[in-house]
């Protein structure tokens, strides 16, 4: 048996593949287009491991996907592949529509055709798990209860709208064709291999280089943070025991303002990499905090109610925000060559376009 993972060279997908192979003998076929966010270096520790089969390609390439399904006959497909950065979706939504909607549709068609041809237990046990985000639910008022699976979809950015459309297609394939889907909607992740365009890794790298820590608007927007490996363990549990056709929200009950996140990060960096030891002439990384122009249409608050997942499947996160963030900072401090490689040419173009530096 095997599983087919899409987008497994990205941040969450790579953590998922690494964790899976640390715990299972079951091989992973990893299909990834290697966009700017896909990085084979994330999977370097699997070099020579016959259980990891990497395939360079697009989820929208139905000939390629059908061929992989026929050849490897995986028992499940887990779809991480996506364009994932809200700010990029504001600058250029086209790729988001292409991968997150058209690509998801094409993948659903290819996998459904394969599943229709299966028989017996192989067909009954087959699963298509679609990895999605809490951003599809839109923005919460300060006093509103956290998102549950029955919240209305109210996406506000091209990114969240494209993810919402993908989720609707997945839902419709179950309703219409009985296709055995599972959907997960997770809150903001952080951890190793996070591409430094997102808040936490961007601030770690900028701080260590003595550069400004850009806070959009007033910095009081709230996100609900989850350590990436806790997200991966939730996906494994939903895959094994989730009820077909159901959606499961995943979150760590760590609602924090962006300012709180960055202050905690600065405090940790002050302890683990004191500025003076890096020839930086200030006493705390906090002095780098800089307020910049807000993101257009910036969602004010996200928060996840994960009680369905906790109650039905007994999932619990292992990390608190403090333990997870400490692990994350240590990982970035110990992986300088990964950082050097991902912050080359194309990355610099993005940073200067977004922050004007």
Q: Which residues are catalytic?
A: 134-135, 159
Q: Which of 11-19, 163-171, 210-218, 311-319 is the region at the interface with ligand TYD (rule: CB under 6 A)?
A: 210-218
Coil, strand or helix at 166: helix
Contacting residue, 77, 215, 228, 342, with ligand TYD by CB under 6 A: 215
CB 117 → ligand TYD: shortest distance, Å? 38
Contact 314, 187 (CB under 8 A): no
Within 225-264, the residues that bind ligand TYD by CB under 6 A are 258
CB 79 → ligand NAD: shortest distance, Å? 7
Nearest residue to 227 (alpha-carbon basis) of 118, 98, 317, 137:
317
Picked from ligand NAD, ligand TYD, none, the partner binding residue 258 (CB below 5 to 8 A depending on kind) is ligand TYD
Within 57-96, the residues that bind ligand NAD by CB under 6 A are 58-60, 80-82, 84
Can residue 324 be called a binding residue for ligand NAD (CB under 6 A)? no
Residue 81's alpha-carbon distances to 31, 58, 62, 101, in angstroms, are: 9, 9, 15, 11
Can residue 5 be called a binding residue for ligand NAD (CB under 6 A)? no
Coil, strand or helix at 80: coil
Q: Which of 2-10, 121-129, 167-175, 307-315 is the region at the interface with ligand NAD (rule: CB under 6 A)?
A: 2-10
Picked from ligand TYD, ligand NAD, none, the partner binding residue 138 (CB below 5 to 8 A depending on kind) is none
Residue 180's alpha-carbon distances to 115, 126, 129, 173, in angstroms, are: 9, 7, 9, 8
Contact 131, 163 (CB under 8 A): no
Can residue 199 be called a binding residue for ligand TYD (CB under 6 A)? yes
Distance CA 219, CA 54 (A): 40
β-pairing, 222-224 with 255-257? antiparallel
* Per-residue tokens: 197: 């365009």
* Per-residue tokens: 194: 């996070």
Nearest residue to 166 (alpha-carbon basis) of 247, 213, 109, 99:
99
Query: Which CB, 258 or 273, lies closer to ligand NAD?
Result: 258
Picked from ligand NAD, ligand TYD, none, the partner binding residue 35 (CB below 5 to 8 A depending on kind) is ligand NAD
Query: Which CB, 10 or 192, lies closer to ligand NAD?
Result: 10
* Binding site residues, ligand NAD, CB under 6 A: 6-7, 9-13, 31-35, 37-38, 58-60, 80-82, 84, 99, 103, 131, 133, 163, 186, 188-189, 195
């Amino acid at each position: 048996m095997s599983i087919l993972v899409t987008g497994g060279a990205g941040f969450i997908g790579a953590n998922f593949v690494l964790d899976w192979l640390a715990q299972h003998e079951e091989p992973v076929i990893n299909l990834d287009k290697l966009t700017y966010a896909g990085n084979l270096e994330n999977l370097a520790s699997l070099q020579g491991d016959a259980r990891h089969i990497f395939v360079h390609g697009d989820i929208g390439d139905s000939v390629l996907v059908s061929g992989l399904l026929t050849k490897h006959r995986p028992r499940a497909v887990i779809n991480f592949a996506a364009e994932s950065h809200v700010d990029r979706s504001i600058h250029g939504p086209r790729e988001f529509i292409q991968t997150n909607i058209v690509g998801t549709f094409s993948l659903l068609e290819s996998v459904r055709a394969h599943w229709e041809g299966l028989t017996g237990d192989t067909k009954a046990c087959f699963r298509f798990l679609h990895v999605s985000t809490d951003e599809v639910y839109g923005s919460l008022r300060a006093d509103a209860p956290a998102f549950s699976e029955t919240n209305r979809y109210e996406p506000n950015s091209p990114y969240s709208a494209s993810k919402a459309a993908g989720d609707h297609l997945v839902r419709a394939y179950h309703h219409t064709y009985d296709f055995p889907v599972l959907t997960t909607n997770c809150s903001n992740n952080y951890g190793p291999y996070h591409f430094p365009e997102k808040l936490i890794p961007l601030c770690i790298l900028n701080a260590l280089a003595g550069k400004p820590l850009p806070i959009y608007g007033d910095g009081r927007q709230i996100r609900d943070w989850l350590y990436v490996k806790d997200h991966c363990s939730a996906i494994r549990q939903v895959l094994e025991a989730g009820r077909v056709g159901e959606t499961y929200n995943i979150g760590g009950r760590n609602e924090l303002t962006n300012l709180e996140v960055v202050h905690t990060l600065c405090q940790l960096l002050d302890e683990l990499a004191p500025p003076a030891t890096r020839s930086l002439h200030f006493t705390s990384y906090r002095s780098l905090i800089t307020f910049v122009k807000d993101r257009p249409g910036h969602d004010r608050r996200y928060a996840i109610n994960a009680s369905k997942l906790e109650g039905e499947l007994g999932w619990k996160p292992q990390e608190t925000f403090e333990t997870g963030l400490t692990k994350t900072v240590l990982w970035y401090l110990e992986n300088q060559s990964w950082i050097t490689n991902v912050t080359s040419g194309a990355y610099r173009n993005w940073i200067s376009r977004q922050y004007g530096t």
